[in-house]
């Protein structure tokens, strides 16, 4: 049988329930951590007046960036006409929504006053890039939800291509908006560049695809459904291109900064003597998150090995986290230049590199966000027909 059929996965096995309970527990711990920070105040977090965005924001931005990237898999079929990717579209939309929900949960729960989210949803300052992001995130849910409906309902399939195109454009704008939150911050030396928006788009391609591959391979492995090498290897190659593209953008970002004399100090800090940030940059972001995954993807010895692909994906995610940590925390740790050329001192850390040690609560909240994402996917694939019953090569090659 060469036809493509979708089906919900069997949700009765002890393995499925163990996964569900495990993810539920992590999510609950995350929510309880947020509650604890809310009750005790942000003073128990590692954040302070110098590092105003910390680990929860790193997790949140990571998941939000991954969300738009995860949707690319569906876009490759609907926008770029690659029919091999068509069977993967439904999961792509589900994962995109779940990732955004996880990321926003972390972001919202870490607000100084999460109970005032309703203010953010009802009162907009349209000059604020953050306000635009709120609209972009809300719109993403609606548009991807509609796109998912078009993919899953035969009666709606005639709108699928248009919905896919609109969702693709929306996701590009969304990631541009996320990158611009930082790009528009002219007060900080590490930002204030239009490069951040396209770099975030490229990061989303790599992180989102890596997340997708892990979820897809795990789902098929655990539900014991067949998945052929054809689609896996196509995604492997695509991931390699995305990783290389991210490294290109990182190089351009730093080279352009190095060209401008006013940014030499911050570049020296990030690339040479920034302590943990420099180490994270070279060892985690570049080596572990870039060079090693590229080697795992393209080395002839590991070319068809799924474990090596999974390892590459995991490393891309770790490297991506490090990249976002350096952008968010590293950019704030570098002292603001209020008196250019002067040596400044004060009793409150002026002229010094700001210290930040993430608290356990922040990290638990971040992992809670990832658990919420995976929980939504785990429940979703068991309730609705998101996954093809087979992704064997003959099914993937099937042309309607």
> Which one, 17 or 339, has the nearer CB to other proteins?
339
Question: Which position among 8, 48, 287, 379 is part of the footprint of other proteins (CB under 8 A)?
Answer: 48
CA distance 312 to 376: 24
Applying CB under 8 A, what is the total number of residues that bind other proteins?
Answer: 44
Q: Which stretch binds other proteins (CB under 8 A): 42-50, 159-167, 238-246, 298-306?
A: 42-50
> Which one, 121 or 255, has the nearer CB to other proteins?
121
Q: Name the phi and psi angles at 392, rounded to 5.
A: -65, 160
Q: Which stretch binds other proteins (CB under 8 A): 38-46, 89-97, 201-209, 307-315?
A: 38-46
- Asked if 260 touches other proteins (CB under 8 A), the answer is no
- CA 48, 49, 55, 59 torsion: positive or negative? positive
Question: Which position among 4, 8, 117, 156 is part of the footprint of other proteins (CB under 8 A)?
Answer: 117
Q: At what angle do helices 89-109 and 129-152 cross, to 10 degrees?
A: 150
Q: How many other C-beta atoms lie within 10 A of the C-beta of residue 163?
A: 24
> Which one, 42 or 90, has the nearer CB to other proteins?
42
Least CB distance to other proteins at residue 32 (A): 18
- Asked if 343 touches other proteins (CB under 8 A), the answer is yes
Question: Which position among 1, 12, 49, 399 is part of the footprint of other proteins (CB under 8 A)?
Answer: 49
- Asked if 194 touches other proteins (CB under 8 A), the answer is no
- Asked if 261 touches other proteins (CB under 8 A), the answer is no
- Asked if 139 touches other proteins (CB under 8 A), the answer is no
Question: Which position among 187, 251, 252, 360 is part of the footprint of other proteins (CB under 8 A)?
Answer: 187
Q: Collapse the DSSP code of 47 into the 3-class scheme (helix H, G, I; strand E, B; otherwise coil) and give the result.
A: coil
For 224, residues 6+ apart whose C-beta sits below 8 A from its C-beta are none
CA distance 43 to 219: 40
Are 396 and 228 in contact, with CB atoms under 8 Å apart?
yes
Which DSSP letter does residue 281 get?
I
Which residues between 294 and 333 bind other proteins (CB under 8 A)? 332
CA distance 213 to 178: 23
CA distance 345 to 366: 34
CA distance 177 to 196: 10
- Asked if 345 touches other proteins (CB under 8 A), the answer is yes
Q: Which stretch binds other proteins (CB under 8 A): 15-23, 215-223, 297-305, 345-353?
A: 345-353
Q: Is 127 exposed, middle or buried (0-12, 13-18, 19+ CB in 10 A)?
A: exposed
Q: Give which of 329, 318, 370 is closest to 31, Cα–Cα.
A: 370
- Asked if 111 touches other proteins (CB under 8 A), the answer is yes
Question: Which position among 1, 342, 399, 400 is part of the footprint of other proteins (CB under 8 A)?
Answer: 342
- Asked if 265 touches other proteins (CB under 8 A), the answer is no
- Asked if 393 touches other proteins (CB under 8 A), the answer is no
- What are the DSSP calls for 127-149, one per residue? T-HHHHHHHHHHHHHHHHHHHHH
Least CB distance to other proteins at residue 69 (A): 24
- Asked if 176 touches other proteins (CB under 8 A), the answer is no
- Asked if 360 touches other proteins (CB under 8 A), the answer is no
The structure tokens listed for 116 are: 């005032």
CA distance 100 to 96: 6
> Which one, 228 or 351, has the nearer CB to other proteins?
351
> Which one, 184 or 367, has the nearer CB to other proteins?
184
- Asked if 181 touches other proteins (CB under 8 A), the answer is yes
Are 363 and 195 in contact, with CB atoms under 8 Å apart?
no
Contact residues: other proteins, CB under 8 A: 38, 41-43, 48-49, 52-53, 111-114, 116-117, 119-120, 123-125, 127-131, 133-134, 181, 184-188, 332, 336, 338-339, 342-348, 350
């Amino acid at each position: 049988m060469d036809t493509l059929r979708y089906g919900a996965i069997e949700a009765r096995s002890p393995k499925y329930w163990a996964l569900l309970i495990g993810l539920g527990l992590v999510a609950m711990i995350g929510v309880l951590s947020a509650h604890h920070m809310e009750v005790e105040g942000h003073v128990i977090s590692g954040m302070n007046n110098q590092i105003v965005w910390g680990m929860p924001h790193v997790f949140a931005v990571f998941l939000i960036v991954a969300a738009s990237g995860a949707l690319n898999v569906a876009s490759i079929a609907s926008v770029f006409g690659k029919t091999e990717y068509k069977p993967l579209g439904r999961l792509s939309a589900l994962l995109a929504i779940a990732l955004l929900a996880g990321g926003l949960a972390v972001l919202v729960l870490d607000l100084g006053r999460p109970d005032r989210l309703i203010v953010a949803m009802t009162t907009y300052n349209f000059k604020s890039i953050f306000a635009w992001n709120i609209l972009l995130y809300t719109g993403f849910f609606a548009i991807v939800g509609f796109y998912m409906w078009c993919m899953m309902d035969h009666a709606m399939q005639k709108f699928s291509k248009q919905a896919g195109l609109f969702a693709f454009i929306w996701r590009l704008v969304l990631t541009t908006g996320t990158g611009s939150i930082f790009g528009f911050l002219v007060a900080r030396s590490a930002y204030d560049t239009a490069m951040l928006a396209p770099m975030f788009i490229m990061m989303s391609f790599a992180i989102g695809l890596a997340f997708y591959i892990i979820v897809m391979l795990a789902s098929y492995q655990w539900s014991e459904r067949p998945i052929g090498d054809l689609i896996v290897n196509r995604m492997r190659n695509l991931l390699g291109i995305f990783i290389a593209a991210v490294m290109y953008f990182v190089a351009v970002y730093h080279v352009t900064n190095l060209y401008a004399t006013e940014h030499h100090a911050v570049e020296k800090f990030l690339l040479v003597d920034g302590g943990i940030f420099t180490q994270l940059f070279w060892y985690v972001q570049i080596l572990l998150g870039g060079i090693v995954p590229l080697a795992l993807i393209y080395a002839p010895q590991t070319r068809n090995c799924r474990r090596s692909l999974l390892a590459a994906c995991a490393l891309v995610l770790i490297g991506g986290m490090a990249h976002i940590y350096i952008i968010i925390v590293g950019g704030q740790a570098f002292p603001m230049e209020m008196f250019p050329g002067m040596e400044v001192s004060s009793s409150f850390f002026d002229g010094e590199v700001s210290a930040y040690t993430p608290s356990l609560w922040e990290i638990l909240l971040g992992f809670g966000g990832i658990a919420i994402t995976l929980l939504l996917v785990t429940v979703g694939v068991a309730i609705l027909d998101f996954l093809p019953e087979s992704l064997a090569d003959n099914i993937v090659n099937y042309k309607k």
